[in-house]
Structure 1
Amino acid sequence: MIIDAHAHIGGMLLNGKENTVDALIAHMDEYGVDKAILFPILPLPLARPDVLELARNKGFRNDLVFSAVKKFPERLFGIYCVNPRNPGEVSSIDDRIRDGSVVALKIHPFLHGFKPQSSVSEVIVEKCIENKVPLYIHSGPGASPLEIGQLADRYPGVNFIIGHMGECVEHVFECVMVASQSKNVFFETS
């Protein structure tokens, strides 16, 4: 079985066509991919201040993930990217997990403006404990593997996934070190 561990829908493909769930499933079929873990997408490019502000305020397209998983529940597993500062998103976590829309939570410390080991993260970690789901943390600026490891050490009952294997070369070794020292830390390599 082949599983794509980090897929997105929304936006445009390189060929100029819309990146829909049907297009994703067609590509999966074409290349022999059985299942995919589906992440919400952000408006890009984040380097533009207006787009970054839009992303911080409007957030990720979680709605696309929820509807895609409902359409193809046998092929797709959803990830819910939650802004811990948005009470509406936090309050909907239990329902989204219960209805099968998502199998894990994700936080994006850089985008939402907090450190992984800060009290802001604790709300989401507690939801992971309550619902017995892993927490994917988008690594990179403001969220190094060492910082994610500090949070994981405080919550040994939660599985943490370091996204993008640290996101840059200097963090790859940190990522491997943290994952090798903590039984509840894993990394994905997209």
Structure 2
Amino acid sequence: MVIDMLVHPMLYGEICTPGDEPDGFGFWSREYGMGHMGPMDWDELQVEMDVCDVQKSVLMPLDVTTACGGHFGTNDQIAMLVAAHPDRLWGFASVDPQVSGAADELERAFTELGAKGLCLHPAKQGFAPDDAVAEPLYELCERYNKPVVFHAGMSWEPGAELSRSNPLAFEHTIATHPNVRFSLTHFGWPWVRETVAMLLKYPNCYTDTSITYIDSPE
């Protein structure tokens, strides 16, 4: 089975609304740096998956409340998309660890929405992986046996400094939480050797191979 482990939901037309409000496509385009891309309907998305022989796509929302005042897809929107296309989609949850009630929201996503894990992008969300505010989230992931996906490697989002996405920036967190599975996105590119070192050293560290962007179905 081919699983696309890092799919951002902002191009899914079913959850797109016009405008520049925190839940609008204009906000997503500006704050995520999507350029001239636009929403697509499910038929088009499904064709892309089929042509690329992808059986499952894993949707990753991102809560950027502190950094930007909104979300790149909410946990409820992800659950709605998965419910509409259960044979092709899995969903993760995201919370902003700097917001009060983040742990409660994550537990709700695990227990009520069926989220498969937690997606965090410290460089964009504005916190360090080993900040104390994130500790309750890691504890929940250990309790519910859910993985954490950290955005690592190249990041084009405005305000997300590349140095904070170096795979080694996550080492202390991964080393001190041996019972939590962590995955570093994009194989940590361009820091591929650092990613390899992390994989060799820490048995609870994983990566995905979404290094390059598929710009067309062909």
- Provide the TM-score with structure 1 as the length reference: 0.80
Task: Indicate the RMSD between aligned Cα atoms, in angstroms.
Answer: 2.7
Given that 1:139 and 1:164 are in contact with CA atoms closer than 8 Å, whether structure 2 keeps it comes out as: yes
Partner residue in 1 for 2:146: 133
Q: CA–CA distance in 1 between the matches of 2:148 and 2:199?
A: 14
Structure 1: segments with no counterpart, 5+ residues: 43-51
User: Cα 1:66–1:127, aligned 2, differ >3 Å: closer, same or farther?
Assistant: same
Instruction: Give the ranges of 4+ consecutive aligned residues of structure 1 lying more than 3 Å apart after TM superposition.
Output: 11-17, 20-23, 29-32, 52-55
Partner residue in 2 for 1:46: none
Partner residue in 1 for 2:73: 61
SS state of the match for residue 130, structure 2? coil
1:74 to 87, 106, 110: 87
Aligned 1:26-175 pairs, distance under 5 A: 26-40=47-61, 56-62=68-74, 63-140=76-153, 141=162, 142-166=164-188, 168-169=189-190, 171-175=191-195
Partner residue in 1 for 2:159: none
Given that 1:136 and 1:162 are in contact with CA atoms closer than 8 Å, whether structure 2 keeps it comes out as: yes
- Provide the TM-score with structure 2 as the length reference: 0.71
Given that 1:10 and 1:64 are in contact with CA atoms closer than 8 Å, whether structure 2 keeps it comes out as: no
Partner residue in 1 for 2:4: 4
Partner residue in 2 for 1:182: 202
Alpha-carbon deviation of 1:89? 4.1
Q: CA–CA distance in 1 between the matches of 2:41 and 2:66?
A: 22
Greater relative contact order (CA < 8 Å, ≥ 6 in sequence): 2
Given that 1:107 and 1:135 are in contact with CA atoms closer than 8 Å, whether structure 2 keeps it comes out as: yes
